[in-house]
Amino acid sequence: MKKFALTMSATVLSATMILAGCGSSNPSNTASNAGGNSAKSGGKTLIFGRGGDTVTLDPANATDGETFRVTDNIYETLVADKPGTFDVKPGLATDWSASKNGLKWTFHLRKNVKFQDGTPFNADAVVFNFNRWMDPQNPYHKGDFEYFTNMFGGFKGNPKAVIKDVKKLDDYTVEIDLAHPSAPFLADLTMAAFSIASPADVKKYNGDIKDHPIGTGPFKFVSWKPNDSITLEKNPSYWDTGKPKLDKIVFQVIKDNKARLNALQAGQIDIMDGLNPADVPTVKNDSNLQLFTRPSNNVGYLAFNTQKKPFNDPRVRQAINMVVDKKALIDAFYNGMAVPAVSVLPPSMWGNDTSLQDYQVNIQKAKQLLAEAGYPNGFKTDLWAMPVARPYMPQPEKIAAALQADMKKIGIDAKIVTYDWATYLKKTANGEHTMALLGWTGDNGDPDDFLYVLLDQDNANPPAQNIAFYKNPEVHKLLVQAQQETDQNKRADLYKKAEQIILKDAPWVPLVHSTPPMAASKKVTGFVPSPVGSDILTNVDIK
C-alpha cells in the first residue's frame, strides 16, 4: 500500500490496462450524474461517494466492504455492534443466553418487526435463513456462502461444522446448537453476511436475491445502476420509531479519490470514503467540511500464492519481505496515517504479538536467499493490483508500482495486472494469481476473524479468503484450539504462537495497518465511522 512517484505509477497503470486487456473502465469518474446534493434533490437525501461498486446485494454471498456498505442499511442481524465499537448489542434478537457448556444458544426475537415486503419477521424466518446458509441440499442454497464456511467451519454434514442445528422453540425464540464451544460465535453473528433476509423474497427469486434485497433494515432498495449508483429510500415501517432520519441514500461511485473530494467540495456529494491521506489538510482547511477517521482495524498485504512456483519456496517469500520498505510506503501514500504491519492482527487487537521482529530491508541477504532457492538472476512474474481504493490501500496502483520497483532490485520483473473489482475478487479467491495486493477490515473484533479466515488451511480452498493458499498444520492446530478455548488470555497465547510461525513462513508481506480518513459536509450529523468499514446510517441526518 504505499510508495513511489506518481508519474511512474500512472504510466505503469496505463500499461497494465493495455496488457491485461481489462482494468476499471468505470464511467463514473465524476459526480456529474450524482443527482446533486441533498438540497437539490429535495427531502433529506444523502449522497455517499465511494470508489467502487457493490458486488452483490445478497450479503450472505458477499465478502467485500463495498457490498456490505449498502446491505448493512437494508438488512439486519440478530445481534449488532454498538456504533463505533465491537461491543455487542441487541439487533433482531432482544436478548440471548448460552448453556453452561456453550453448546446451546437461545435467542429471543424482537416482536412487531416486518420485512420490507410486509411479511413478518419471526423464528420461522431465522430458521429459514440459517438453513439456506448451512445446508447445501437446501433448495435456496444458491451461491458460495463463503463467510459461513469461513466463520463456522463448514456446511451441514462437514465434520468440522460448528453449527449442528437451528430450531424454533416458539414464534419468537430460536435455539442454535453447536458441535463444540465457539468463543467468537456471538461476535460472528454481528457480521453482515449473517443478515436475515425475507423468506418470501428468497423463495420468489429461487434463492438468487443478488438484485432483489428485502430485509428489515431502515432503508429499502430502489435501484442499482452498475458502476454508477445504488439508491435506497426510507423504510416507513421500520420498527425503531422515528428512524431513520434520512429520506434517501445514494451510493455514488466516483473512482478517483481526488475527483471524489472535488465533488464533495462542490456540494455534489455529502460524504466520502477513501480520502487520500495527503488531502487531510485540505479537508481541515475547508470550513464547509469535517474530517472523520475510522478506528484502525485492518491490514493491507501482498499475498504470495504459496501453491505456485516460485512462491512455494519460503526463501523466495522471505527475500521479497526483505526488499519492501514499509516506512517509505507510509511516508509516500499514507501521510503518516498508518503503521507498518508485522503481524496480521492490528496493534490494537488483543492477541497481537508485539514482540515480533519484522524483516529488515536487506538487499544483499534477499539476493542470497533467491540464489539459494535457485533464482540467482531473479524471475518474471505478475503482480496483481486491485482497481479500487480501499481503507487499507488508498492508492493501490501506485503502491503496486512501488513494490514493483522494490522487487526489481533483486532481479524480480513483476508485470502489474488488474481487473474490475468483482472479477479481481473472484480470480484471487480461485487462486489464479501469483502475487496479489489485498487487505482486510475486521468484522467483529476477534483475532479469529483475521487469522483463521485469512491464513488457516480450512480457508485455502477456492473460493478462498486465504488467497495465499497457505497451509501449515501447526498453525491450523493453534487456531482451532483458540476457537474452542474460552479463556481470553489462553486464546491470546495461542494466537501469538501462530503469529510467530506465520512470520517465519512468510505467506504475505504484511504492509500496513491504516487509520482511514473520511470527509463529509458539515451539514451531515450523527455519523460515527464503524471499525468494520461499512456504516449503518440509521442515525445520520442532514441539517
Output the pLDDT for position 1: 27
Residue 98 has pLDDT above 90, yes or no: yes
Residue 382 has pLDDT above 80, yes or no: yes
Tens of pLDDT, residue by residue over 412-423, are 999 999 999 999
- Average pLDDT score over residue span 287-305: 96
Which cell numbers in the block locate residue 428?
A: 484471487
Provide the angle, in degrees to the nearest 10, between the axes of the packed helices 314-321 and 363-372.
Answer: 170
Binned at pLDDT 50, 70 and 90, residue 103 comes out as very high
Which cell numbers in the block locate residue 48?
A: 455517499
Which cell numbers in the block locate residue 497?
A: 504462537
Lowest average pLDDT, out of 37-46, 135-144, 358-367, 508-517, goes to 37-46
Output the pLDDT for position 313: 98
DSSP string, 347-410: TTSTT--TT--PPPP-HHHHHHHHHHTT-TT-EEEEEE--SS-BTTBS-HHHHHHHHHHHHHTT
Output the pLDDT for position 340: 97
Output the pLDDT for position 506: 98
- What gap in Å lies between CA 140 and CA 277, rounded to an integer? 43
- Average pLDDT score over residue span 440-458: 94
- Average pLDDT score over residue span 187-207: 97
Of 505, 510, 314, 302, residue with least CA distance to 414: 302
In angstroms, what CA-CA distances link 524 with 32, 92, 253? Answer: 21, 27, 19
Averaged confidence pLDDT in the chain: 91
Q: Where are the beta strands (DSSP E) in 315-386?
A: 338-340, 379-384
Of 145, 118, 80, residue with least CA distance to 216: 118
Which cell numbers in the block locate residue 435?
A: 502475487
Output the pLDDT for position 104: 97
Residue 32 has pLDDT above 80, yes or no: no
Neighbour tally for 173: CB within 10 Å:
16
Q: Where are the beta strands (DSSP E) in 93-153?
A: 93-98, 104-109
Binned at pLDDT 50, 70 and 90, residue 25 comes out as very low
Determine the 3-state secondary structure of 350 from DSSP: coil
Determine the 3-state secondary structure of 542 from DSSP: strand
- Give residue 194's identity as a one-letter amino acid code: F
Residue 336 has pLDDT above 50, yes or no: yes
Provide the angle, in degrees to the nearest 10, between the axes of the packed helices 326-333 and 396-408.
Answer: 150
Whether 308 and 266 have beta carbons less than 8 Å apart is answered as no
Tens of pLDDT, residue by residue over 384-417, are 999 988 889 999 999 999 999 999 999 999 999 9
Residue 175 has pLDDT above 90, yes or no: yes
β-bridge partners, 525:
541
- Average pLDDT score over residue span 366-374: 98
Output the pLDDT for position 524: 98
Which cell numbers in the block locate residue 63?
A: 465478502
Output the pLDDT for position 199: 98
- Give residue 181's identity as a one-letter amino acid code: P
Output the pLDDT for position 171: 98
Binned at pLDDT 50, 70 and 90, residue 11 comes out as very low
Look up the pTM and report it.
Answer: 0.85
- Average pLDDT score over residue span 104-120: 98
Higher pLDDT, 148 or 35: 148
- Average pLDDT score over residue span 475-485: 96
Output the pLDDT for position 348: 86
Tens of pLDDT, residue by residue over 208-241, are 999 999 999 999 999 999 999 999 999 999 999 9
Tens of pLDDT, residue by residue over 496-530, are 999 999 999 999 999 999 999 999 999 999 999 99
Output the pLDDT for position 389: 87
State the pairing for strand pair 45-50/271-272. parallel
325 burial level (CB within 10 Å; 0-12, 13-18, 19+): middle
Output the pLDDT for position 486: 87
How many distinct helices (H) and strands (E) make up the chain? 17, 21
